Structure 1
Amino acid sequence: MTPHPEPDTWTLNSPTVTEQIRVLVAAVGAPPARRKLIFLAVGLVLVIGATAVGQFLLNAWNKPFFDAIERKDIDGFLFQLIVFGIIATALLVLNVAQTWLDQMTKVEMRAWLTHDLLLQWMAPKRAFLLAGAGQIGVNPDQRIHDDARRLTELSTALAIGFLQSALLLTTFIGVLWVLSRGVALEISGRSIVIPGIMVWAALIYAVSGSWLTWRVGRPLIDISAERYSGEAELRSALVRVSEATDGIALYGGEADERRRIERELHRVIVAMRRLVGRIARLTWITAGYGWFAIIAPIVIAAPGYFGGQLTFGELMMTVAAFNQVQQALRWFVDNASGIADWRAALLRVTSFRHALLAIDRLEQPYPRIDIAKDSASLVFDNVAIRVADREIALDGVVEIRPGERVLIIGKPGIGKSMFFRAIAGLWPWGRGRLAVPPRAGTMFLPQRSYVAPGSLREVLTYPVTASSFLQEDLINALERTNLKHLIPSLDRIARWDKELMADEVQRLSFAQLLIHKPQWIISDEAICHLSEDSREIMFSLFGQELSEASVVSITSNDVQHNFYPRILHLTAQPVASFKASSGGGRPTSPATGATEGEAPAVVRATF
């Protein structure tokens, strides 16, 4: 066999920021979402634009108001209070409208981003493949739930803030330039006029602050990403312990589990302490920048006022315009921590989506079994499943016809589960040609049955909606599998995988067979794990209600030898190892470096 390339040669690199933004836009850019988001975006632009006009009018209001105070003009003062009330009321209405549009944009973005991530993750076989794809496949729930929520909220807040700052800058920079005519610098008794001095002062002030903020705050991106990864691991460890309390108690492993959880907690605490230190450094700049901004415009414009070039009202108008300009320019300074958080969330979410899409692309160049779907029979044409340093095969050409009962026997540890997964299309690495019957008429019974969440009715009919089946069929299935005590609980929602014993869970999977009535039943030692009484019940089902179904059982012993007229044997043949597993761990996949029983690591990403 042709040697496979090293996994490191096809590692998926972290996408650039531009690629990440493109991925995010694609995720929320489906036609229904696009229409809603465009409507909300247009509304936000109009409201923010109107707010900028209101801010302009409010700035212009400063001159007559403070001039009236300087002149001690009570009538002018009262009139300007009325003008202020009108402007403030309009700005209040606009503020409420902006808040509503802001929150609705966050809701819609999260809905469509989460929908898109679920759509990509739950595409056939992707979740299985991603689970063995290295760090990128760890804790997908964190990326889909928390990271997607943070990303949409921060994206909306930062985009609105940036747009608002840009409009304010456009509105007030011209005003500030005109007002700067009355500002002169007094140096050694000489008056020096610099055109647009207040504008240049605001620019220098903002650029210097932004540069310092970037230098100090840039490490926050990586530290935040590390923290969120640690939080996901900590939550996963806590969930794992809560779901295995009986086993932990039986082993007396509480102390060991506590140490494991504390290790994950320590990782989070270390990251949080690094964040505290970095944020404290950043606060020196952002807070100091903000405090000095209070007095800076007055200090710069004061010579013009004391020299008589500016009235008190014009001074306050200049100060207000300066504050608007520098506030717009300091958007980066004020949002440095939020931008770092956004970058971290953007990296985790878009890298996750990028990896999901890349899985389909990156698999194709590597040796795979030729799979033909919708065949009338199950045919193995010189099929060999590649697992670690060996091939598992059925010799020659083997055809299993409809209605046959076939037992496939393999030694313990030979890789029977990989052979089972290959038939299901979950393990495509190997050689030969495999023809499989239509998936719609086939049911696979793994060693550990999956029990779907929801009511017992939904569990029995999974993955088809419960309304597609008659009540009598469900009751009959439970009675035939000796689960009639569960009939009153058909509509009760519970964690059935926790409430039922292992033997009951396995019998529940056979009740599903009676309900779905598949034409092909392929089992991975599912029958072997049943009690003797339950096993007899199952074989009676195959002899009566499911007598026309084809039954293929993969096992390590001769279970009910007389039930299977045909017996096949799996053979294992050693081949050149693709890559030795490190540290004496589990053997790795020939094409991917994944451990045996895991999905191939087609995406070795660590973001």
Structure 2
Amino acid sequence: MATSVTDDQRKGAANLSGFDLDFPAQLRMMGRAFWTSPVRTRLILLSVALLTVILLTAYGQIRLNEWNAPFYNALERRDLDAFLHQLEVFAIIAGLLLLLNVIQTWLNQMTALNMREGLAKDMVDQWLKPGRAARLASFGTISINPDQRLHDDVRNLAESSTALSIGLVNATILLVSFIGVLWSLSAGFAITISGDTYAVPGYMVWAAILYAGSASLLSNLVGYRLVGLNAERYSKEAELRFSLMRASENLAAIALAGGEKNERRRIGIDIDAVLGVIRGLAMALTHLTWVSAGYGWLAVVAPILIAAPVYFSGNLTFGGLMMAVGAFNQVNTALRWYIDNFGPIASWKATLQRVSVFRNALIQMDSVEQHGLTIDLDRNAEHEKIRLRSVTICREAGGQDLER
């Protein structure tokens, strides 16, 4: 005996199965995929190597920042011997940092490669488990263009996850490393107001936090629409690609039926949908650029302006001023990591949503079948014939439904 499934039942089943996931659930879903992946050990080893290189790079950057003081002091004194010696020191530090940069680039690429291998194979394994792909094809929008989710979305998620994770760790280590340097340089700062002196320990740290925090707040206010727009763009791009592929595969039938006009209209609608989303993205990114670029240009003079009171009070030499500027820039760079990556983070969250929800849908297919919302076939060894009851056959061309 067989049971029929209507479109409304399919859509209802998709909702009841709980395919949609909130952000924490998306992370848990992909975390479980990583933990059961055969590339887990390789990724852990690569992560440890990357962390080691990042720590060594941070130490080298601290030494380079300390080098600013004697170098610029030698310039201020017009001391040629000290100047040449500091150039030799710079060559050693810069050479080691260059080597670490090259090693980190290779590790970054290998991490992204292994991340994509594990994620792609896991998604294909989930998709091609017996019966899942066929059942998924009957369940609404979640089944549209699975090839795009398995290819472009998986690639984007692997690459962006690697880049953003490494960037976050690097920014955190830089922040911890240089915030102490910046604090010590401005620890004894005090201001005089109406004859009263007020001590502001580590005021350059607070200035850096205020500077980067205001930029972060403005970026969130201006760029909040980017996550939804990126998710919509991925969906519309996939629909356009599918329409073009279907038209390409059926060119002979389209020409025979004289359906070129209808195909142009249908593909034109898909193109307009993509262009509409891109226009929205362009405006959102343009608005965000006012914040990111504005604060970027201000950063050219901001550290000097902030360190100037200490310098003019006589508590800093010219070399110390340049050292403070370097430390401020490092702290500001670390604090601005989220600001500068707001767009990529939005794109990553949109891709994570598409991949995790698709993976969840594949897993949920097993439970959907148990609810009786697919065609169930009972086999009887005594009869070889298959009898169908209460089955509705719908012809997509627009003919009348035939019931048996």
Q: Secondary structure in 1 aligned to 2:301? A: helix
Q: How does 1:219-230 map to 2 (within 5 A)?
A: 219-230=225-236
1:223–1:275 Cα contact (<8 Å) kept: yes
1:92 to 85, 92, 98: 98
Match of 2:352 among 346, 355, 362: 346
- Would you say 1:379 and 2:376 are equivalent positions? no
The aligned counterpart of 2:255 is 249
**Per-residue Cα deviation, 1:86-130 (whole angstroms, up to 9, x for no partner):** 000000000000000001111111111010000000000111111
1:62 corresponds to 2:63: no
Q: Distance in 1 between matches of 2:376 and 2:310?
A: 84
2:188 is equivalent to residue 161 of structure 1: no
How far does the alpha carbon of each residue in 1:483-505 deviate from its partner, in whole angstroms, 9 at most, with x for none? xxxxxxxxxxxxxxxxxxxxxxx
Equivalences for 1:570-581 in 2 at 5 Å? Answer: 570=387, 572=389
In the alignment, the residues of structure 2 paired with residue 162 and residue 16 of structure 1 have an alpha-carbon distance, to the nearest angstrom, of 22
In the other structure, the counterpart of 1:129 is: 135
Which structure: larger Rg?
1
- The separation in 1 between residues aligned to 2:369 and 2:113, in whole angstroms, is 36
**Cα offsets for 1:521-562 (capped at 9, x unmatched):** xxxxxxxxxxxxxxxxxxxxxxxxxxxxxxxxxxxxxxxxxx
1:276 pairs with 2:260: no
Give, in whole Å, the separation in 1 of the partners of 2:306 and 2:197.
13
Contact kept in structure 2, 1:186 and 1:303, CA below 8 Å:
no
User: Helix, strand or coil for the counterpart of 1:87?
Assistant: helix
Q: CA deviation at 1:185?
A: 3.9
Q: TM-score, normalised by structure 1?
A: 0.61
Offset of residue 305 of structure 1: 1.0
| 1:368–1:259 distance in 2 versus 1, CA, 3 Å | closer
1:212 equivalent among 209, 218, 222: 218
Quote the offset at 1:193 in angstroms: 2.9
Unaligned runs of 5+ in 1: 373-377, 381-397, 401-407, 409-418, 420-569, 578-583, 588-595, 597-607
Match of residue 26 from structure 1:
32
Please give the residue correspondences for 1:388-537 in structure 2 after superposition, counting only pairs within 5 Å: 399-400=383-384
Measured on the aligned residues, the alpha-carbon RMSD in Å equals 2.8
Counterparts of 2:168 and 2:322, CA distance in 1: 26
AA paired with 2:380?
V
Give the number of the structure whose residues are more often helix, by fraction.
2
Encode CA deviations 1:365-416: one digit per residue, 9 max, x unaligned.
33788867xxxxx517xxxxxxxxxxxxxxxxx624xxxxxxx5xxxxxxxx
Measure the CA separation in 1 of the matches of 2:38 and 2:292: 40
Q: Which residue of 2 aligns with 1:298?
A: 304
Deviation at 1:289, TM superposition (A): 1.2
Matches within 5 A, 1:38-53: 38-53=44-59
Mark the CA change 1:127 to 1:311 in structure 2 (over 3 Å): closer, same or farther: same
Q: State whether residues 188 and 201 of structure 2, in contact with CA within 8 Å, keep that contact through their aligned partners in structure 1.
A: no
Structure richer in strand, relative to its length: 1
* Aligned CA distance change for structure 1 residues 379 and 131 (closer, same or farther; 3 Å): same
CA offsets per residue over residues 453-486 of structure 1, 9 Å max, x none?
xxxxxxxxxxxxxxxxxxxxxxxxxxxxxxxxxx
In structure 1, the residue corresponding to 2:380 is in which secondary structure?
strand
Structure 1 residue 27 displacement after superposition = 2.2
Alignment check: 8 A CA contact 2:19 2:357 kept: no
Once residues 166 and 194 of structure 2 are traced to their aligned partners in structure 1, the CA distance between those partners, rounded to angstroms, is 46
Confirm or deny: 8 A CA contact 2:303 2:328 kept in the other structure. Answer: yes
Residue type of the alignment partner of 2:73: D
Q: What is the CA–CA distance in structure 1 between the aligned matches of 2:200 and 2:345, rounded to whole Å?
A: 35
- Secondary structure of 1:109 counterpart: helix
> Which blocks of at least 5 consecutive residues in structure 2 are unaligned?
393-397
> Compared with structure 1, are the counterparts of its residues 265 and 571 closer, same or farther at alpha carbon in structure 2 (3 Å cutoff)?
closer
What is the distance in 1 between the residues matched to 2:277 and 2:399? Answer: 29
Once residues 111 and 266 of structure 1 are traced to their aligned partners in structure 2, the CA distance between those partners, rounded to angstroms, is 34
Distance 1:573 1:117, change over 3 A: closer
| Distance (whole Å) between structure 1 residues aligned to residue 328 and residue 214 of structure 2 | 16
- 1:335 matched residue in structure 2: 341
Q: CA distance change for structure 1 residues 573 and 17 in 2, over 3 Å: closer, same or farther?
A: closer
- Give the CA deviation at 1:572: 4.5
SS in 2 for 1:32: coil
Deviations 1:262-300 (A, max 9, x none): 110110000000000000000011111111122111111
| 1:152 lines up with 2:158 in the alignment | yes
Q: CA deviation at 1:571?
A: 6.9
Tell me, in whole angstroms, the C-alpha distance in 2 between the residues paired with 1:56 and 1:37: 28
2: distance between equivalents of 1:340 and 1:68? 47
Offset of residue 172 of structure 1:
0.7
Q: Distance in 2 between matches of 1:130 and 1:215?
A: 38
| Alignment partners' CA distance in 1, 2:234 and 2:202 | 46
Deviation at 1:586, TM superposition (A): 8.9
SS of residue paired to 2:39: helix
1:117 equivalent in structure 2: 123
Query: Aligned with 2:35: secondary structure?
Result: coil
Deviation (angstroms), 1:188: 5.6
SS in 2 for 1:399: coil
Structure 2 SS opposite 1:28: helix
Conserved? CA contact 1:182–1:310, under 8 Å: no
Q: 5 Å matches for 1:248-267?
A: 248-267=254-273
2-side partners of 1:368 and 1:233: how far apart? Answer: 26
3-state SS of the aligned residue for 2:18?
A: coil
* 1-structure distance, mates of 2:44, 2:361: 28
CA contact (8 A) 2:188 2:200 kept: no
Contact (CA 8 Å) 2:30, 2:356: kept in 1 or not?
Answer: yes
Q: Secondary structure at the match of 2:383?
A: strand
Deviation at 1:252, TM superposition (A): 1.6
The percentage of aligned residue pairs carrying the same residue is 50
C-alpha distance 86-399 of structure 1, shift in aligned 2 (>3 A): same
